[in-house]
Structure 1
Amino acid sequence: MEKEQKKILIACDSPRSLLDFRGKLIQELLVKHEVSVFTPRIDQKEIRDKLINMNVKIYESKLNTSNVSVLADLKYIVQLYNLIKKTKPDIFFPYAFKPVIYGSIVANFRKVKCITPMLTGLGYNFLEIDSKRTIIQNITRRLLKLSLKANDRMRIIFQNNDDYNTLIKANTITRKNKTFIVNGSGVDLTYYNYSEPDVKAISFLMIARLINAKGIKEYYESAKVIKSKFPGVTFKLIGPYDDNIDAINTELFTKVKSDGVIEYIGLVSDVRPFISQSSIIVLPSYYGEGVPRCILEGMAMGRAVITSNSVGCKETINPHLTMRNGFLVPIKNTLELISKMEYYILHPGDIIKFGINGRKYAEEKFDVNKVNKQMLQILVGTE
C-alpha cells in the first residue's frame, strides 16, 4: 500500500546549503511528498529559481547564524511558530544549531508528529575555549538539552559517533532518545567526477570559511615554510571572510590576501574546477565538524587528503593502511602538517594512489544515494 503524501518543513541556516548539501535529498522527498523550506533570505537568484523549479515552497527569515542577538532570535522563534501553525507540517527537519534548537522547541510545543533534527557537527559548543565564549557555550548546551528532550516524536540524526557520545557524556541527551548516525551529507559521485591530479606542478587547496577553528593560520604558516623549500609548489584558499565570532584577525587576513604565500580566491559557486586543478586537499580543522563536505568533494574527484585527527575530519580517512587515502595530523600542529605536505611533494606517486583510494572510499561510504536512502527511512519511513 502506497504511503500517504506528507508535508515536510526543512529549516536551515544557509540557503546555499539547501542545494549543495540537501539538493538530492529534497529531490527524493519531492517524488511523493510536499516540501517547504524556512531559510535565511535567498539573495542568489539561481538558488531561488532552482528551488521554485523543483516546486519547493520558500519561506524566508532574518536569521543571523554567526552572532548572538536575543531580539533577532526571538523574532526568528515567533516567525517559525507562526509558520508551523500555518503550514501544519507532518515532519519538521531542521539542521544547523539555531534551527535545531529553536525549531525543535517550537515544533515540540506545536506537537508536530515527527521531528528529525540533524546535528551537522557540534562546532564550538562542546570545545573548551576562553571564558568569553563559555557563557554562550553554557546557554547553548542548556537550550540544546531542552530542545532534544526524548519523546516519541523526536528522532535525532548525527553525522558521526563522536558527537553522539559527546552529548551522552554531557547528559544533553540520554539513551531514551531515538538516535541515528549517517555518513555526513554524502557526495554526488556523478557530479564530482574523478580526474587524475597533476603531480608535476603540485598544488594544495583548502576550502573553508576564514575562521580560526578551521585551521587557517596553520595552513598559512605551513604554506610559508613549504614555499621557502619548494618555491614551485602552490597553495590556494577558497572560502568567505564573514562576520563571525571566531573570524581570523585582520592581520592574518591581510597576509592571506596579499603577501603571495597563498592565492586567496574567496567564495565560489562551483569548487570543481579548483579541485580539478589541485593535487591535495587540506583541512586542518578543530572546529567540531559533522563530516566535512569539502573533503568528500575532493575524495570523489580523486584527491589525496591531509586533515586533522579531530571529530568529523577523521571519518574521511580510510583506517585500512592498504587503502590509505590521506593523513591525519594532530590539531594545531603546524610541524606535522608541514611534514605531511613534504611527504606528498617527495612521493608524488602516492598523490595519485591515495586519490584513487579516496574515490573508492567515497563510493563505499559516502555516496549520496546511500546516505539519502537512510535519510528517507528516518524522515518518511521508506523501505
Structure 2
Amino acid sequence: MIKRKRKKILIACDSYRTLLGFRGKLMEALLKNNEVAVFTPKIHHDEVRNKLLDMGIDIYENELNGSNVSMFSDLMYMFRLFQVIKQAKPDTFFPYTLKPVIYGSFIAKICKVKHIVPMLTGLGYNFMNGNDKTPLVKIIVRAMLKFSLKLNGNRALILQNRDDFETLINQGIIDQSVNAHVVNGSGVDLSHYVFSKPDSENIVFLMISRLINAKGIREYFEAAERIKSRFPHVKFKLIGPYDPNIDSIDPVLYQKISSGQIINYLGEVSDVRPHIKESSVLVLPSYYGEGIPRCLLEGMAMGRAIITCDSVGCKETVDLTENAQTGFLVPIKNVNALTAKIQHFIQYPADTLLFGKNGRAYARKKFDVNKVNKQMLEILEA
C-alpha cells in the first residue's frame, strides 16, 4: 500500500484571535493528513501560542494591522509572506479575510504555490452601500481583490453566504467560471457551546461585537436606552474590544457605554460562554457585510433566541419557519424596529425558551462545525 504524502498547508489570517476559535477544529482535522503552519499577526497571548505549538502547528508572525490602511505595513506584510512561503514551501495556501486574500493570493502566485484557496469571511466596508467617507479606498480595494482573484484563475474560492457570491459577480470581481464554494460560516462546535435553558424571568440582552458603527453599536445603545426608561429592571450587556479604525464609534458614545448607566460594558473577554449562559437573548443589529457572524452561531448553539438585521450574513442565522422560529430580523439602522423586538421578549418571555430551543436545533442542522469542516477539507485537500 502506497502511503499518502503529507501536504503542507499554510493558513494566513489578519488576527491571531480567530485561529483557535474560528479555525481550531478545522486545523485539528487538517493535521490528521497534513502538516499545518499559520501566518499570523503577532500573538500576544501565551495560551494561544502554546495551544498552537502543542497541536504541532508551525507559527510564522508578521506586523499586519487588519483594520487600518497602511501602505508601509502592507508592503512589509507581503515581503514577510514571500520569505515564509520560500521557507515553508507549502503545497496549499489558505488565506482568509480581506487583506490576506488580496496580498496573500498575489504573493502565493508569484511563489508558484500549486493550490491557492482564498476564503472571504464577509465583504465588510468596501462593499457596503450608502454614504462613504473613503470612496477611493473602496475603488482601490475592489480593484485589488479582482486582480488577486483573477490571478488564481478558476481555482477554488470559498465564501460564507450566497449574497457575497452574487455581489462579486454583479460587480465584475469574479465571473461564472470561478470555482466558488459557499459554506455555512465557520461552523460552531456544539460540544463546546453547550445548550442551557435561558432565564425567562430575569431577561438579559447581550451583544458581542467590536465597537464599530457598522456592527450596530449605536442602535443597540439607543434601543436599550428606550427600553430602560420603561422597563428599568431589564439588563443589557455588551462584550467586545474598542476597535481603533476608520469606523470606530465616536468618543461620546463610547463614554456613555462605559459609564454603565444603560449597558453593562464588559470589554473583551477570553471566553464568551459564561456570559451567553447568563443571557436570555443575543442581539446583533449589524449591517457590516458579514460572512456569517460567529457570535450568533455561538448564541444559537447555547439555546439563545437572537435579534439581528435583515442584512448580508446575519439573515442566514434566523429561521422564520412556523414552529421553528429562532429569532427576529429587523431592518438595518432601525432603532424603532429593534426596540419593538426587544420589548417582545420582555412581554412574551416564553419565546426566549422556544426560540432558543429552535436555535439549538437549527445550529445542529445547518452550522455544526463538523459538517462545515467536512466540506472545507474536501476543498483544501483536493
Q: When the two structures are superposed, what TM-score results if normalisation uses the length of structure 2?
A: 0.98
Residue 23 in structure 1 maps to residue 28 in structure 2? no
1:115 touches 1:153 (CA, 8 Å); kept in 2? no
Tell me which residue corresponds to 1:166. 167
1:114 touches 1:153 (CA, 8 Å); kept in 2? no
Tell me which residue corresponds to 1:309. 310
Deviation, 1:133, is 1.2
2:106 touches 2:151 (CA, 8 Å); kept in 1? no
Alpha-carbon distance change, 353 to 51 in structure 1, aligned in 2, over 3 angstroms? same
2:185 touches 2:292 (CA, 8 Å); kept in 1? yes
Matched letter for residue 376 of structure 1? L
Tell me which residue corresponds to 1:183. 184
Q: How many residues align?
A: 381
Residue 225 in structure 1 maps to residue 226 in structure 2? yes
Cα distance in 2 between the residues matched to 1:207 and 1:124: 19
Cα distance in 2 between the residues matched to 1:259 and 1:90: 51
Cα distance in 2 between the residues matched to 1:324 and 1:3: 46
2:154 touches 2:178 (CA, 8 Å); kept in 1? no
Tell me which residue corresponds to 1:132. 133
1:256 touches 1:264 (CA, 8 Å); kept in 2? yes
Deviation, 1:19, is 0.1
Once the two structures are aligned, what percentage of the paired residues are identical? Answer: 57
Matched letter for residue 231 of structure 1? P
Alpha-carbon distance change, 151 to 245 in structure 1, aligned in 2, over 3 angstroms? closer
1:210 touches 1:242 (CA, 8 Å); kept in 2? yes
Deviation, 1:242, is 2.3
Deviation, 1:150, is 6.0
Q: How does 1:325-336 map to 2 (within 5 A)?
A: 325-336=326-337
Stretch of structure 1 that moved more, 272-281 or 101-110: 101-110
Deviation, 1:85, is 1.6
Matched letter for residue 116 of structure 2? I
Residue 376 in structure 1 maps to residue 377 in structure 2? yes
Matched letter for residue 141 of structure 1? R
Matched letter for residue 202 of structure 1? I
Deviation, 1:244, is 1.1
SS in 1 for 2:150: coil
Matched letter for residue 249 of structure 1? D
Cα distance in 2 between the residues matched to 1:217 and 1:250: 12
2:154 touches 2:177 (CA, 8 Å); kept in 1? no
SS in 2 for 1:24: helix
Cα distance in 2 between the residues matched to 1:130 and 1:45: 41
Tell me which residue corresponds to 2:39. 38
Matched letter for residue 118 of structure 1? M
Deviation, 1:321, is 2.4
Q: Render the CA deviation track for 1:301-360: whole Å, top value 9, x for unaligned.
A: 000000000000000001422200000000000000000011111111111000000000
Cα distance in 2 between the residues matched to 1:127 and 1:287: 7
SS in 1 for 2:125: coil
Alpha-carbon distance change, 218 to 2 in structure 1, aligned in 2, over 3 angstroms? farther
Alpha-carbon distance change, 364 to 131 in structure 1, aligned in 2, over 3 angstroms? closer
Cα distance in 2 between the residues matched to 1:175 and 1:2: 37
Tell me which residue corresponds to 1:348. 349
Q: Render the CA deviation track for 1:194-232: whole Å, top value 9, x for unaligned.
A: 000001110000000000000000000000000111111
Deviation, 1:243, is 1.3
Matched letter for residue 297 of structure 1? E
Tell me which residue corresponds to 1:247. 248
Alpha-carbon distance change, 131 to 25 in structure 1, aligned in 2, over 3 angstroms? closer
Residue 91 in structure 1 maps to residue 116 in structure 2? no
2:81 touches 2:107 (CA, 8 Å); kept in 1? yes
Cα distance in 1 between the residues matched to 2:37 and 2:152: 24
Cα distance in 2 between the residues matched to 1:131 and 1:32: 46
Deviation, 1:61, is 0.2
Cα distance in 2 between the residues matched to 1:151 and 1:56: 26
2:207 touches 2:282 (CA, 8 Å); kept in 1? yes
Tell me which residue corresponds to 1:267. 268
Cα distance in 1 between the residues matched to 2:119 and 2:183: 10
Cα distance in 2 between the residues matched to 1:129 and 1:7: 43
Matched letter for residue 139 of structure 1? I
Cα distance in 1 between the residues matched to 2:7 and 2:156: 17
Matched letter for residue 215 of structure 1? G
Alpha-carbon distance change, 289 to 2 in structure 1, aligned in 2, over 3 angstroms? farther
SS in 2 for 1:146: helix
Deviation, 1:152, is 5.5
Residue 118 in structure 1 maps to residue 101 in structure 2? no
SS in 2 for 1:193: coil
Alpha-carbon distance change, 122 to 138 in structure 1, aligned in 2, over 3 angstroms? same
2:9 touches 2:37 (CA, 8 Å); kept in 1? yes
SS in 2 for 1:171: coil
Deviation, 1:128, is 2.7
Q: When the two structures are superposed, what TM-score results if normalisation uses the length of structure 1?
A: 0.98
Alpha-carbon distance change, 242 to 121 in structure 1, aligned in 2, over 3 angstroms? same
Alpha-carbon distance change, 60 to 151 in structure 1, aligned in 2, over 3 angstroms? closer
Alpha-carbon distance change, 151 to 241 in structure 1, aligned in 2, over 3 angstroms? closer
Cα distance in 1 between the residues matched to 2:93 and 2:171: 25
Tell me which residue corresponds to 1:193. 194
Cα distance in 2 between the residues matched to 1:104 and 1:126: 20
Deviation, 1:140, is 0.4
1:150 touches 1:176 (CA, 8 Å); kept in 2? no
